[in-house]
Amino acid sequence: MPVGTFTAVLHKEGRPYVADCPEVGTASQGESVEEAVANLKEATELYLEEFPQA
């Protein structure tokens, strides 16, 4: 799988942290910054497996 660099934008919505990847359009959340980023990474990897970028 090709390696790329993507942006993670984090913000807090009440209790959870929300992480967004604007280049791909994926989003996830977690109880900590680390968890939100890890969840976003997994969501983005799964998305890119299904819909590879040209």
- 1 within domain boundaries: no
In a domain, 28, yes or no: yes
Domain count within the chain? 1
Full residue range of the structural domain in which residue 29 is found: 9-50
Residue type, 21: C
Residue 42 domain flag: yes
Instruction: Confirm whether 3 is domain-assigned.
Output: no
23 CB neighbour count, 10 Å cutoff: 12
Identify the pLDDT of residue 2: 58
Residue 25 lies in a domain: yes
Of 1-5, 13-17, 23-27, give the lowest mean pLDDT range.
Answer: 1-5
- 23-45 pLDDT, tens digit per residue, is 999 999 999 999 999 999 999 99
Between β-strands 9-12 and 26-30, what pairing exists: parallel, antiparallel or unpaired?
unpaired
Domain membership of residue 13 (yes or no) is yes
| Alpha helix stretches (DSSP H) within the chain | 33-50
> pTM for the full model?
0.88
Q: What is the mean pLDDT of the chain?
A: 92
pLDDT at 53 over 60: yes
